[in-house]
Amino acid sequence: MGRCWCLHSLVWEYGTLIGTTGSAIGTGYKNTLEMVAQSNTAGMAGTISRAYRGPNNYSDWFLPSKDELYELYSQRLLVAATFGYWSSSESDATHAWDQGFFSGSQGAGEKTNNTAVRPIRAF
Digit-by-digit pLDDT tens for the chain (123 residues) are 444 455 666 788 766 667 778 999 999 999 999 988 887 778 889 999 999 998 899 999 999 999 999 999 998 888 877 788 999 999 988 899 999 988 889 999 999 888 999 999 986
Domain residue spans in the chain?
7-117
pTM of the model: 0.86
Asked if 29 and 62 touch (Cβ cutoff 8 Å), the reply is: yes
Asked if 98 and 66 touch (Cβ cutoff 8 Å), the reply is: no
Instruction: Quote helix, strand, coil % in the chain, to nearest 5.
Output: 25, 25, 50
